[in-house]
Amino acid sequence: MKKRYNSFVGYYKSKYGSRLQKIVIDAGFSCPNRDGFIAFGGCTYCDNNAFHPSYSTPDKSIMQQMEEGMEFHRRRYRRATGYIAYFQPYSNTYAPLERLKELYTEALSHPDVVGIAIGTRPDCIDEEKLDYLAELSREHIVMVEYGIESCFDVTLERINRGHTFKQAAHAVRMTAERGLDVCAHFILGLPGESRDMMLESTSVINSLPLTSLKFHQLQIIKGTRMEREFEAHPEDFVTFTLEEYLDFFVDILERLRPELCIERFAGEVPPRFVKSTPWGLIRNVELLRLLEKRLEERNSWQGKLL
């Protein structure tokens, strides 16, 4: 049965003929809003340790991380026939081009790796780096993933992103012009944003030349500035029960153009990083099943309201 939304797994299968699995790589990058180039302290919600697997640590070589990641995923996703080296933690284009070439070439030299995915910030990319990635894409899969998080500058300033939405849109367009797959990441529930504001963002997202999208609900990570902000001003935050989030995300899907691939719609953070797990210890596969069920119950689908 055809899915009621455009899944990214389905996109890769149709484009490349098989399931491809991402292996997270920590290459030891930093961010310009951490090291003082733009700001200090990073984004107010961020603790990168909460968002990537234990096998991925910068003290290991890229090859070691790849081997351990492949072994980990072979037990979970036995249908995968190839792997994508996913440079995820922090800003993975925040280095001179020659250094980037060394790292990406090392990852692509593994015989089972068919491409790379690069997580970065809109202000850590330029024409020269994108030209190099376009050249790489002639022989390998190359995806660039931008952390955008919000379409509203007032929110971006409040969470200490250090860039504007205009910069994000410009980076997306430069990347798409070179024929590269472009993913954008957004957080639902950032302080100061209402449900209506989040729904309004879909029209802006639709206007961008994106290949895929990642969403996740805001999760308050221990020890972050956002934890202190949430404790001081909980009224500034929209929070969701699991049932509320499923319905709200269906509302979002109904407003997104059908050709946009949904790579993720909710996030998982290990319990030790949060004070509570209001949704319980639910895994991603179950969340996907519940989303499909809710779409069926509402007789809804991606792009229904367009």
Q: Which domains does the chain have, with CATH numbers?
A: 8-297 (3.20.20.70)
* pLDDT, average across residues 276-300: 91
For the chain, how long is the longest CA-to-CA vector? Answer: 52
Laid out side by side, the sheet with 212-217 consists of: 20-25, 82-87, 113-120, 141-149, 181-188, 212-217, 261-264
Query: Residue 230 above 90 pLDDT?
Result: yes
Question: Residue 204 corresponds to which tokens in the numbers above?
Answer: 């802006």
Residues above pLDDT 70, as percent of the chain: 96
pLDDT confidence of residue 43: 86
* pLDDT, average across residues 217-238: 94
State the residue for tokens 């001179």.
Answer: 96
The answer to whether the CB of 124 falls within 8 A of the CB of 94 is yes
Query: Residue 275 above 90 pLDDT?
Result: no
The answer to whether the CB of 257 falls within 8 A of the CB of 206 is yes
pTM (two decimals): 0.93
Say which residue, 51 or 299, is predicted with more confidence: 299
**pLDDT tens digits for 153-171?**
999 999 999 999 999 999 9
Give the pLDDT band of residue 79 (cuts 50, 70, 90): low
Say which residue, 51 or 97, is predicted with more confidence: 97
**pLDDT tens digits for 108-123?**
999 999 999 999 999 9
**pLDDT tens digits for 139-156?**
999 999 999 999 999 999
